[in-house]
Amino acid sequence: MNIQKKMKTLNQAIDAWQREYKEQGGRLFCGRGCSNCCTLYVRITGVEALHIAGQLTPEQSGKLKLHVDKMKLHAGGSASMTDFLHRARFKVGPCPFLDPDGACGIYQCRPFACRGMLSTRPAEWCGADFSLLHPLEKEAYRSGLDREVVAWPTHYVEATQYMAEAQEGDVVAWMTESWGFRLVGSLGYLVWLVRESEAMSDLSDMAGAAEFFAEKGREFPYLLTLDRGC
Ligand code: SF4
């Protein structure tokens, strides 16, 4: 699996979409240092986790450990996936790979999901806690969205998210074929586990790797899913 090639293909498709959207008068608000969406839960595949795990600096690894400890704490104490997603965003804090200046610290190998997120609203909306908004504010927000463009009821572009999901789908199919299982999970946790797993270090024992991740998935089902695809 040439993950870099797939990331390049996705970038080209997203660039083309953005060019056309802007030519038609559309406006996007994403840029370097604008990082409010980096508090959202990011789902990645095992292949992306392997790619990212191989690129981390010692400082990023240290931040990752702290992040994973907090994620596990809140995943274990959450009453539902919805509860967990809210805690992950507002109690765990931003992505461990976010640099202090608000730039992505793993920009070249960032996940498909991050590449597909384009905002049609200014950054403050990407960091808003909608559970705290007055119903009238929510209504005003929703009525201002372009339903032809966004993944309703969010203000993020739908087409580019589909493009990212299509690449992710190819990777998931490849995992099933080559590894014998599908592995997806939270960005921080999956990168951490891939580094911890001896079986993933040389991909020589995929049955052992499947057992390792299945056990972790049973322990923290909100953070990881392993599916043997049969
Ligand atoms: S990987 Fe980069 S773009 Fe994605 S959430 Fe983390 S800091 Fe943000």
Q: For a substitution probing ligand 1, which of 34, 41, 42 has the most ligand atoms within 8 Å of its CB? A: 42
| pLDDT attached to residue 230 | 58
Cα angle: 161, vertex 163, 164; to 5 degrees: 65
Q: For a substitution probing ligand 1, which of 34, 99, 104, 112 has the most ligand atoms within 8 Å of its CB? A: 104
pLDDT in tens, the chain (230 residues): 899 999 999 999 999 999 999 999 999 999 888 899 999 999 999 999 999 999 999 999 999 999 999 999 999 989 999 999 999 999 998 999 999 999 999 999 999 999 999 999 999 999 888 889 999 999 999 999 999 999 999 999 999 999 999 999 999 999 999 999 999 999 999 999 999 887 777 777 888 899 999 999 999 999 999 998 65
Indicate if ligand 1 lies below 6 Å from the C-beta of 106. Answer: yes
Indicate if ligand 1 lies below 6 Å from the C-beta of 10. Answer: no
In a domain, 74, yes or no: yes
Residue having the nearest C-alpha atom to atom 4 of ligand 1 = 114
| pLDDT attached to residue 202 | 75
Contacts of 130 (CB under 8 A, 6+ apart): 138
Indicate if ligand 1 lies below 6 Å from the C-beta of 28. Answer: no
In a domain, 152, yes or no: no
Q: Give dist(CA 128, CA 39) in Å, integer.
A: 10
Indicate if ligand 1 lies below 6 Å from the C-beta of 42. Answer: yes
In a domain, 61, yes or no: yes
Nearest Cα neighbor of 48 from 15, 97, 89 is: 97
Residue having the nearest C-alpha atom to atom 2 of ligand 1 = 104
Q: Give dist(CA 15, CA 86) in Å, integer.
A: 31
| pLDDT attached to residue 197 | 82
Q: Give dist(CA 216, CA 206) in Å, integer.
A: 15
25: left (phi over 0), alpha (psi -120 to 50) or beta: left
Which helix (H) or strand (E) segment is 44 a member of? strand 43-45
Instruction: Give me ligand 1 centre to Cα 162, in Å.
Output: 18
In a domain, 26, yes or no: yes
Q: For a substitution probing ligand 1, which of 34, 106, 108, 119 has the most ligand atoms within 8 Å of its CB? A: 106
In a domain, 52, yes or no: yes
Ligand 1: atom nearest CA of 40 is 5
Output b/e per residue, 109-143; b: 16+ Cβ within 10 A. Answer: bbbbbbbbbbbbbebebbbbeeeeeeeeeeeebee
In a domain, 126, yes or no: no
In a domain, 216, yes or no: yes
Write out the residue range of the structural domain in which residue 182 sits: 3-117+158-227
Indicate if ligand 1 lies below 6 Å from the C-beta of 110. Answer: yes
In a domain, 125, yes or no: no
Indicate if ligand 1 lies below 6 Å from the C-beta of 191. Answer: no
Quote the number of domains for the chain: 1
